[in-house]
Structure 1
Amino acid sequence: MSTNEPDHGGSDVAVHDGDLPARFENPGLPEHKHRLTDTDPKAARRAEKQVALLFVLSIVGTLVMIVGYFAVKMDHGLGFLDYLDRLALSNQILGIGMAVSLLGIGVGAVHWAKTLMPDEERIDYRHLQRGTDEERADAVEMLNTGVEESGFARRPLIRNTLIGAMALFPLPGIILFRDTGPLPEKVLTETFWKAGDRLTLDPEGGPIKASDMVLGAVAHVMPEGIEEAEHVLNEKAKAAVLLIRLEEDQLAPESLDGAYGGIVAYSKICTHMGCPVALYEQRTHHLLCPCHQSTFDLTQNCKVIFGPAKRALPQLPITVDDEGYLVAAAPFGEPVGPSYWERS
């Protein structure tokens, strides 16, 4: 029983006698209300065209991105302000195109689900994660039924425009990433080093004689003449070499062919992510990359002994010229720098 008694504020407060039912009856699902597209074929066809139009809009947005990327030229001869203006215009076209492309796919998918896909309310009770074979077969049948009910197979206009929008959407990303620079195979396989190039100190410059390299000495070197390279910073980034002298009997047999009197030269570019390997531990003869702690053993031809790097540092073969200066006997025998998918 419930009674209503006035409280001090003048409002009514419900009071019960403490008895509660053991359980509440399931109220069931509310009566389903059909949409216009469920009852009117013309409305369904109209909605289908609207969804297809949104997918076509996505295709147009993707094409705008691609065309805009190539149409706005970023010429090297532009002045600074003209360059900024064109850069801003290019970014605006790319941004608007991507927004339209994503919006078309997103809104089209939502409109498709709201107007054409089944919307009956259903109850699904929890069950064990691994069902019986019969239940799994039923699940597959339900998925197939869902595909059928969604109209994906029966509505080729929606299906084809969606496939077109989804197929074109990744293209701008592929174009943008591909245009960030040449492929690694064409860049890392060629450095400024060639046979006969003198090793010069970096950054002070000047050639090095083999007699200057005492036992345990370390030097950072570049090829002579690199300052005159067309893209000097790019060339320096690939040509950086670490020069170290050890006892000849400490070197691995495979590294002796490229050494001279215990002096070895290895690329400074880590084969993991391209950081400079410039920390040398003289007692253990280990080279350490400070970025991710990849460790290379000089006595084992710069083999990786710790860290994420997967390849040894490439060796630069060296010898001396008629004046006793250290020179490259040949270019690097393999690509320098980080590993990539085209490396064997």
Structure 2
Amino acid sequence: MSDEKSSTELTSGHPEKFTDPGMPEHRQRRADVEPAASKRAERQVAALFGISVIGTIGSMVAYFAIRPDGTTAGTRLSNLTLGLGIAFALLGIGLAAVHWAKAIMSDHEVVEERHEQRSPDDVREAAVQKLDDGIADSGIARRGVLKGAALSALALFPLTIAVPLVSSVGGDWNVSKFRHTRWEKGMRLATDPTGRPIRAADVTMGNVFHVIPDVSEEERESHEWITEKAKAVVLLVRMDPRDLKEAPDREGWSYDGIVAYSKICTHVGCPVALYEQQTHHLLCPCHQSTFDVADGAKVVFGPAHRPLPQLPIEIDDEGYLVAQSDFHEPVGPSYWERLK
């Protein structure tokens, strides 16, 4: 029987048990055998923690000294400098921890046999002792420079998150302002970003215009304009008036097939700007919510729950498109005072 079994094993090529290959021979690192290399690695780790400290300080300087000034360039510069500071603060800590573990801490291979989930008391005491030995082996107790650098980096890094959060307390929490935009009766529709007023005659069949309120140049340069523009952006489309399905309460909100809807998706606020001329559908590129422009911008697909708010428009005496009023409902995604 045993001969048959051995023959089967040899034929199939699958032995019942594999030989334990054991642990490979341990290779000493330069830092383990050369005191100078160990000291150099310690200085490198300390320098990386120092980079983290500099990054934290830099992010604080950027947060307070380089504030958004209301312009696109100013906002971009503020975000860039703040982001770089936080990146160096985190990167320094991460690289220092990795280099410390690879170059300074013990790298001896250890094998532990599996055992019950609840270890005996003597084993638990031995585990605690190993942790103590590991701490001692890391050299943190006798490496004052490393300990100071690590503690400084770890202690200062939370400031990159805490300071912006704390400084925002007491800010503008008036959410009611999101119910209204800059649009008002008689305000002309202008192209974005040039600010050129739009004549109805300039909007040909199938044309799409990205629209902002026609405000003064002084207002466009103000700090508040970015917020106001973000709420008021509109997409203007012209189609065959026979294709329009206007609700009774919205009769007269369009002009000769020209309709204007908020560009802000009612799902999470992405810009809805992809227009399909044949289907009259507007597509949100973020989560594929789709709105039917010919039928009150109702949702025909995707996670959005509400139609896009429509801006009532007409023309003035000079043939320019103007707003009849502000939107009749809040623009943008849902918030806590809405059911949807």
TM-score of the superposed pair, with normalisation by structure 1: 0.48
Larger Rg: 1
